[in-house]
Structure 1
Amino acid sequence: MIELFNKYRYYVIFLGHGMLLAITMSMIDFNTVFPSLVNKLSDSKVIFGALYSIMLGVPFIFNLFFSHIMRRDQYKKKYLLLGINLRALSFLGMAFFVYYFSIESSAIVVYSLFFWIFVFSISGGFAGIAYLDIIGKVIDEKDRNKFFTYKQLVSSVSALVGGLIIKKIFDLKSLEFPNNYSIILFIAFGGLFLASLLFWLIKEPPSNKQEDVKLSTYFFKEIPAILKGDKVFSRFIVVQNLTGISLMILPFYMVYAKETFQLDNSYIGIYLIFQISGTILSNFFWGRINSKWGNKAVVNLCILFGAIIPIFALIISRFGPSVYSLVFFLVGFVISGRKIGFDQYLLEISPEVERTTYIGINGTLSIFIVILPLIGGTFIEYFGYNITFLLVSIIMFITTYIFREKKQVHR
């Protein structure tokens, strides 16, 4: 048994962590549960967009700094553990403020969310870099496609368990606001803390030693040289920025549904289950695409789905809240595809010795994502959902052309 564990140690660790993390993140799913919470506290789309700008943008702003610090350190596990535990703490903080202040002063809760989301996001930034770098070191390149597919499948099934828990909590008439959201956030704290414990079992091999470089020199000299010399990577950064616009409106699908149909809480669980079901079923689809045509094809199709969904949401909303569930089913497809395709494509085009550098540059230069949710919230506030959703679709269709226009040859 011990020999078997040692042989598959890293599969057990990463898949086990993925299972616990998926259950945890279902508790505060950022496309269904969290938008519903924020909408409960404030009806301002600008505030909503600002929170999501922090959530999506903060990791990208600080990624260059984090990757610079980590590239000098041969061991990344401590950064991973610190990031995960800070994320768990942010859930605990949100649970406390929601429970104690939601009824008497929802404004205090909203202000606190800006802080806790900042903690959640900045810790996720350096944890994400360390996580991908460790995977790159302990999982052989020839096994990564299989590993990412298995990981996504395990995570999707586990997320479904989390979705059923969410539905059960919202179905309980005895659990009213803010108790229901407080319990959900506390479960998220506990789940994320337990998930972090598995990483103590990792025996991390050292990274290749890199020369210490001052951050200013690193930024002004090395980054432009990499972008100029690697057209594949520079094009990927452009695409990463543009596709962020489809991520921008994912949480607004829930807010749109609540305002269009005047939904009760029961639909939060239903939509989450549809989203997770789409994620699960799409694993087989994306795995097939990846095996047959590679990571680039997965990225291409993800972009195309991102272009179609906003138009689909506007059309299908005419048929009521139940039929509208199909929007979240398709959202699940995109979420799954991005996790399988984008990360693997970045690892595929990143030279091993510069892996953390590439991850950091990609994150930091994806600056458009920082302001997109705020722009989206402001657009919806002043121009409505129809114009905003149609504009997103147009930009995403243009992005599919940009990504496929020229043959890409890695330097």
Structure 2
Amino acid sequence: MVRGPTIDSSAIAPILTLIGIAAFTAGFCMPAWHAFLAGTVPLRTRGRLLALRQAFGGVIGIVSGLIAAYILKQLLFPHNFAILFGLTFLFWMISWATLAFVTEEDHQTRTHRDFKAYFQDHILVILTGDRWFRQYLLIKAIMLASMISFGFFAVHGVERFESGTDVAGLFTSIYMIGQIASAYLFGYLADRFGHKVNILIFGVLTLIQAAVAILAPSLTFYGLVFILMGANRCIQAITFNAMPMEYCTSSERPTYFALSNSLLSPLLLIGVLGGLLTPAIGYHGLFLISGVFGVLVLLIGTRLKDPRSLPNFDPIG
């Protein structure tokens, strides 16, 4: 019997602990980070900045992936992983050091006696009193739900067209190209016309994506699915990060951003539900569900109130 390499079980707990710490600190810092973003980047350029971040992130991700693959191949364990972790730490420190050169605007902050007071006097007031923000949460929930089939497009393509598993790498490359190529367009649209336009485009692309996945006559045509996936991912990266902060004042930004993410975090597991449904309804059934969510995005999105049109909107941002 041929056995694969054994794994020291004693290392699993520390690794999972470190992953958990990384996830917790990321969630802990994100509201403050986005408040910092809003306080340093003018309203009319945030969309393009986030778009450029998405585009450059995609390019750098491809390059760093190639470098990581080279290091893993050329060096033996554990030296290869040690170098990768060291490089990661170095880049994080460079990123952190750049913050020293950024000047943040002065803005008001809120103080509360304790978390109970914060919850009752602030969070509940927002959720019960800000109907337009609740409308945004609804449309974001539907957009996240439409991703129920995203993890199954590649598997379906390989099985349907009887391609080798290596074609999955090609799908990933096409996805990255779609994301990089569309980034600046959606950033410009967000800055020029508001995020509602991008939300409606998201609904159209989701519907087309589902139709192509079901009807594509060839593997080449099927690649369009991944271009649309990349474009939609770019819309999410821009709209989900910038739009919540347009509903509130500077002192409320961390809370609004935190609510827009924490309340809808269970929907990030929508792919698991897709996996449970696939044996019963098949891939095409899953794609149809995604298309229905795309239609809902369009129907509800047309009634969405753009925060820039609200009476209490702060044009300075």
Give the TM-score range, shorter chain. 0.7 to 0.9
In the alignment, the residues of structure 1 paired with residue 87 and residue 302 of structure 2 have an alpha-carbon distance, to the nearest angstrom, of 40
Q: What residue is the counterpart of 1:338 in the other structure?
A: 236
| Pairing 1:122–2:19 present | no
Q: Which of 280, 286, 297 is residue 399 of structure 1 equivalent to? A: 297
Task: Pick from 21, 41, 46 the counterpart of residue 139 of structure 1.
Answer: 41
In structure 2, the residue matched to 1:283 is 183
Q: How does 1:29-40 map to 2 (within 5 A)?
A: none
Could you say which residue in structure 1 is the equivalent of 2:145? Answer: 245
Residue 118 of structure 2 aligns to a residue whose secondary structure is: helix
User: 1:293-333 CA deviation, whole Å, 9 max, x = no partner?
Assistant: 222211221233223312321222x413x443222111111
Tell me the SS of whatever aligns to 2:287: helix
Give the letter for the 1:377 counterpart. G
Change (3 A) 1:194 1:309: farther
**1:254 matched to which residue of 2?**
154
Q: Give runs of aligned pairs for residues 69-218 of structure 1, distance below 5 A.
A: 121-162=23-64, 189=85, 192-197=88-93, 198-203=95-100, 205=104, 208-218=108-118
Q: Any conservation in 2 of the 1:278–1:332 contact (CA below 8 Å)?
A: yes
Q: Distance in 2 between matches of 1:262 and 1:214?
A: 59
RMSD, aligned CA: 3.7
In the superposition, relative to structure 1, how do residues 111 and 102 fare at CA in structure 2: closer, same or farther (>3 Å)?
A: farther
- Residues 156 and 139 from structure 1, CA distance in 2 versus in 1: closer, same or farther, beyond 3 angstroms? same
**Do the aligned partners of residues 285 and 202 (structure 1) sit closer, same or farther apart at CA in structure 2, a change above 3 Å counting?**
closer
User: How far apart, in 2, do the equivalents of 1:291 and 1:363 lie?
Assistant: 22
Residue 233 of structure 1 and its aligned partner are, at CA, apart by: 1.0
The count of aligned residue pairs is 298
Q: 1:336 to 1:141 in 2, by over 3 A?
A: same
Distance 1:224 1:148 in 2: 30
Alpha-carbon contact 1:227-1:234 (below 8 Å) kept: yes
Please state if 1:319 is matched with 2:221: no
Structure 1 residue 334 displacement after superposition: 0.9
2-structure distance, mates of 1:109, 1:329: 39
Give 1:370 deviation, angstroms: 4.5
Q: How does 1:356-371 map to 2 (within 5 A)?
A: 356-371=254-269
Q: Is 1:153–1:283's contact at 8 Å kept on the other side of the alignment?
A: yes
CA contact (8 A) 1:350 1:358 kept: yes
| Structure 1 match to 2:206 | 306
Any idea what SS the aligned residue of 1:405 has?
coil
Match of 2:112, SS?
coil
What's the TM-score, normalizing by structure 2? 0.77
Match for residue 315 of structure 2? none
SS in 2 for 1:249: helix
Partners of 1:267 and 1:215 lie apart in 2 by 51
Closer, same or farther: CA 112–266 of 1 in aligned 2, 3 Å: farther
**Structure 2 unpaired stretches of 5+:** 313-317
Distance in 1 between residues matched to 2:15 and 2:200, nearest whole Å: 34
4+ runs deviating over 6 angstroms: 107-117, 185-188
Deviations 1:328-357 (A, max 9, x none): 111111111222233222222232110001
Shift of 1:202: 1.2
SS of match in other structure, 2:254: helix
Is it true that 1:328 corresponds to 2:230 in the alignment?
no
In the alignment, is the contact (CA less than 8 A) between 1:163 and 1:273 conserved in 2?
no
Counterpart residue identity of residue 215, structure 1:
F
The answer as to whether partners of 2:50 and 2:187 remain within 8 angstroms in 1 is: no
Partner SS state of residue 111, structure 2:
coil
Which SS does the other structure have where 1:397 is aligned?
helix
Q: Which of 127, 133, 139 is residue 233 of structure 1 equivalent to? A: 133
Q: Name which one, 1 or 2, has greater alpha-carbon Rg.
A: 2
Q: TM-score, normalised by structure 1?
A: 0.61
**SS in structure 2 of the partner of residue 242 of structure 1:** helix
- Contact 2:203–2:297 at 8 Å: present in 1 too? yes
SS state at 2:264 partner: coil
| Contact kept? 1:159, 1:276, Cα under 8 Å | no
Unaligned runs of 5+ in 1: 1-100
How far does residue 147 in structure 1 lie from its aligned partner after superposition?
Answer: 2.4
Which position in structure 1 is the counterpart of 2:246? Answer: 348
Question: Does structure 1 retain, via aligned residues, the 8 Å contact 2:202–2:232?
Answer: yes
